[in-house]
Amino acid sequence: MKVLVAPLDWGLGHATRCVPVIREFLRQGAQVELAVTDSYAPLYREIFPELKKHTAPSYGIVYPKHGFNMGLWLLKNSVHLNRVVEYEHHYAEEMVRRHGFDILFSDNRFGFYSAKAFSIYMTHQCRIAFPALFSKFEGIGVHWHRKKMENFDQVWIPDLRDAPGYAGAMSHVKNYTVPVRYAGPLSRFTELENLSEIMGETPKDLNVVAVISGVEPARSTFERKLRELLSQVPGNHVVILGKPGAEKRSWTEGNVQFFSHLETSEFARTVRRARWIVSRGGYSTVMDMAVLGASCIFVPTPGQYEQVVLSRALSRAGYAVDVSAGRLSLETLRQAMESSVKLPKPPAQNLLTPLVQEALKQV
């Protein structure tokens, strides 16, 4: 049974949350190959060096300088994005024809399906988040996304079946027209061999660990801001730059240690050493931090309304602190660090196993 997994190249979280899916397919005896862009290839070479990798089409997402222009940017580039979707669909059909894949697994790639293979689509954002001024049009977004899902045989949602789960209203929408399965929260850390050791008595000898992620130019703006702020905050800090393709190196500037990239086990250990995690509010990050029991300050990427909605919801529930990028300052960071929050621990049961077994039987 051959499976081809293709994550969207719009933030590293799409790649990391596919890790437990890939592991489960392998555990069930499937032959798994990966369709990835150059930005994700180094991460997968590290985690799955033995798996064959194909070069997937890239969406080439570059954020506008000002986040509030994101809606206009998407509208302006809609023709380009539609062409990428059309091209990736032709690419998917060609991969099935040439290599005989039985199952295509798409993480948020709208065009990655085939009439000749069992096609699975994974997303947590069934209700696409709109800016507050346009929230009344969310129903249109739900309908549009539902139509995209109809090209697939199944839809997997990486959240709990019972609302609110971790993604709240975004992942709990009624009246689907295709079979929907809830896969539970997915994190690359759940099956670390030494996770129990890491989760044990780890000394909290770091004040802040900042995790940099996202696409440019917002990513570099976030990095520069945290460099400036952490140098003024007492204690020892770590900044993980999230550049798996870069040369692995580390250096220290004052009270801040920088890492270009940390392997999965060391990343988890570093997070456990921190009193606070400062990061973007992407959903995959939320799932990872929940598994690691972290106390988080989320700074949503400007214009990425999914992160804004998710971060605010977690803040209202008392699970995390929400600080908008425009308000991030020494004062707001210090105020956030006076809070007492922690993400709820994910359930112990693995919901992926029966899903993968069901998918393999469909072929």
- Which CATH number covers residue 102? 3.40.50.2000
Query: 104's torsion region: left (phi>0), alpha (psi -120 to 50) or beta?
Result: beta
Q: Which residues of the chain have pLDDT under 70?
A: 61-77, 129-135, 137, 245
pLDDT of residue 77: 64
Q: Are 324 and 336 in contact (CB under 8 A)?
A: no
Burial 71-95 (b: 16+ CB within 10 A, else e): bebeeebeeeeeebbeebbebbbeb
In a domain, 59, yes or no: yes
Are 121 and 248 contained in the same domain?
A: no
How many Å apart are CA 311 and CA 186, to the nearest integer? 18
Please tell me the pTM assigned to this model. Answer: 0.85
How many Å apart are CA 237 and CA 71, to the nearest integer? 35
pLDDT of residue 69: 44
Residues 6+ apart with CB under 8 A from 293: 199, 272, 342, 343, 345
Query: 303's torsion region: left (phi>0), alpha (psi -120 to 50) or beta?
Result: left
Are 224 and 269 contained in the same domain?
A: yes
For every residue of 23-51, which 3-state class applies, written as one string?
HHHHHCCCEEEEEECCCCHHHHHHHCCCC
Are 164 and 212 contained in the same domain?
A: no
Paired tokens of 229:
């702020």
Residues 6+ apart with CB under 8 A from 77: none
The sign of the torsion formed by the CA atoms of 289, 272, 193, 34 equals: positive
Are 67 and 11 contained in the same domain?
A: yes
Q: How many CB atoms lie within 10 A of CB 289?
A: 23
Are 274 and 241 contained in the same domain?
A: yes
How many Å apart are CA 78 and CA 82, to the nearest integer? 6
Nearest to 9 by CA among 55, 46, 49, 50: 55
Are 104 and 228 contained in the same domain?
A: no
In a domain, 342, yes or no: no
Q: Are 300 and 324 in contact (CB under 8 A)?
A: yes
Counting other chains too, the contacts that 141-150 makes at CB distance below 8 Å and 24 or more residues apart are 142/173, 146/173, 146/175, 146/176, 146/177, 148/110, 148/121, 149/121, 149/176, 149/177, 149/178, 150/177, 150/178
Q: At what angle do helices 352-362 and 19-27 cross, to 10 degrees?
A: 60
- Pairing assessment for the beta strands 256-259 and 250-253 based on DSSP bridges: antiparallel
Give the three-class secondary structure for 172. coil
Paired tokens of 176:
């689907």
Q: How many domains does the chain have?
A: 2
Are 131 and 46 contained in the same domain?
A: yes
In a domain, 280, yes or no: yes
pLDDT of residue 116: 97
Are 204 and 254 contained in the same domain?
A: yes
Q: Residue 134: which domain range?
A: 2-185+348-362
How many Å apart are CA 134 and CA 114, to the nearest integer? 34
Are 56 and 179 contained in the same domain?
A: yes
In a domain, 158, yes or no: yes
